[in-house]
Structure 1
Amino acid sequence: MSGAGVPQIDDDELKEIAKAAKKLKLKVAVVAAQWHQPIMDGLVGGADRYLSAVGLDDYTMVRVAGSFELPVVAAHTTRNYDVIIALGVVIRGETPHFDYVCQAATDGLSRLSISTGKPIGFGLLTVDDEAQAVDRAGLPGSKEDVGRSSAHAAVTAALEISRLKK
């Protein structure tokens, strides 16, 4: 079920995250696909709302054509940014194209995060139909806000990595 198990983040936790992120001077890049624009607007909006809530509203936005391009462009952002949030949507069609794009984007982002040690928020919706995407896009009436949750995951991972380095 969409939205089941998503961690709830209260205002006190947001304040603590903001304090820690400010101290570290985290630099954030959002890499977002352009396909399925209304859904992407929701994902980008969710990431933006979260980043603003934790004081990281001075981030860089990079737009790419589609989800397949997310890993290669995210790779270039790892040079100058501490946190990368990758957002995209792939909706199943009638050909195996869905499988190839989803696998390539997922594998590429995973390998990139591990090889660079940089957290990458995984905001790639891989869904069977547009209704499932809308349900996860953080739009009015959506059950889930994957843009927000992927931004939260990446930022808090960066904070934990910083703590582990001490």
Structure 2
Amino acid sequence: MADVNNSNLLQLNTGILKKDACVVLVKTEWNATIVDEMENGARRVFAANGIDNIITKVVPGSFELPFAIKKIWDNAGLGQRPDAFIAIGTVIRGDTPHFDYVCKAVTDGVVNLNLTLPVPVIFGVLTVDNEQQALERIGGKHGHKGEEAAITALKMIGLNVSLD
């Protein structure tokens, strides 16, 4: 099992942060209590680092996340394009294979976006067996995945700027 304590993820060492960065959070309506706390965690990290241009868009479910991100990118004007996206959702296993199809589709969609868009798309989608596992990932024993997604976005924005 991945343990954030065995990594350097929480060390924000991106060099000079892009203070005027724009980040778009695209979140789902499903599992709103968990998803809303993931958004709150991400916003706390951005606020602590002086990033205040955060936009939230809402989609029905995780399957729709890649479409919305691509559409937002395509419709943004040249001077208004985001520096990063975070896909936020929670898919909880049920009694049917639906879980497997949704998880694969959203994962493949985010990978595809990362290979085609010139800005990072952070995977902030929990794929868990039950609600307890999700709760453990929004401030419980497995850290806070919303905060981790925001830190990852900041690091990737820094990397992207340094490579341009």
Offset at residue 3 of structure 1 (A): 3.9
Q: Which has the higher helix share?
A: 1
- TM-score with structure 1 setting the length: 0.86
- Find out whether 1:117 has 2:118 as its counterpart: yes
How much is the aligned-residue C-alpha RMSD, in angstroms? 1.9
Q: Contact 1:78–1:118 (CA<8 Å) still a contact in 2? A: no
The 8 Å contact of residues 87 and 121 in structure 2, kept in 1 or not, is answered as: yes
Aligned 1:1-166 pairs, distance under 5 A: 1=1, 3-4=3-4, 5-7=6-8, 9=10, 13=12, 19-22=16-19, 25-79=20-74, 80-138=81-139, 141-165=140-164
Q: Name the CA shift for 1:100/1:8 in 2 (closer, same or farther; >3 Å).
A: closer
Provide closer, same or farther for how the CA distance between residues 99 and 161 of structure 1 changes in structure 2, counting only shifts above 3 A. same
Q: Which fold has the larger relative contact order, with Cα–Cα distance below 8 Å and residues 6 or more apart in sequence?
A: 2
**Cα deviation, residue 6, structure 1:** 4.8
Where does structure 2 lack aligned partners over 5 or more consecutive residues?
75-80
Q: What is the TM-score of this pair, normalised by structure 2?
A: 0.87
Higher strand share: 2
Query: What is the Cα deviation at residue 158 of structure 1?
Result: 1.3
Cα deviation 1:106-154 (Å, max 9, x = unaligned): 100110111112111111000111111111123xx45311111111112
Q: How many residues align?
A: 157
Give the SS at the match of 2:106.
helix
Gaps of 5+ in 1: none
> Compared with structure 1, are the counterparts of its residues 115 and 158 closer, same or farther at alpha carbon in structure 2 (3 Å cutoff)?
same
Moved over 6 A (4+): none
Quote the Cα distance in structure 1 between the aligned partners of 2:7 and 2:58: 26
